[in-house]
Amino acid sequence: MKHNMGKTDKTIRVIVALTLATLYFTHTITGNLGIFLLAFAAILLITVSINFCPLYTPWGINTNKKKLSH
């Protein structure tokens, strides 16, 4: 699996995920919307941990600026 996420992309995802989790656990967002957004936050953190976003693949998006040596 080729890494396709850069540092800025990962930072933004972590901030969004932590914000959504905070809103859920402080009961600012509740119900089905809260559960959906908490699941979305978990997906964001998973993609950050593996440095790969599957939704980037069909469009050829790559925010990872590191060059691979061959």
**Measured distance between the N- and C-terminal CA atoms of the chain, rounded to whole angstroms:** 16
The answer to whether residue 62 scores a pLDDT higher than 80 is: yes
User: Looking at residue 31, what is its pLDDT?
Assistant: 97
The answer to whether residue 27 scores a pLDDT higher than 60 is: yes
Spatial distance between the Cα atoms of 58 and 31, rounded to a whole number of angstroms: 33
User: What pTM does this model have?
Assistant: 0.85
Residue extents of the structural domains in the chain: 7-53
Structure-block tokens of residue 10:
């990962």
pLDDT above 90 as % of the chain: 80
Structure-block tokens of residue 14:
């972590």
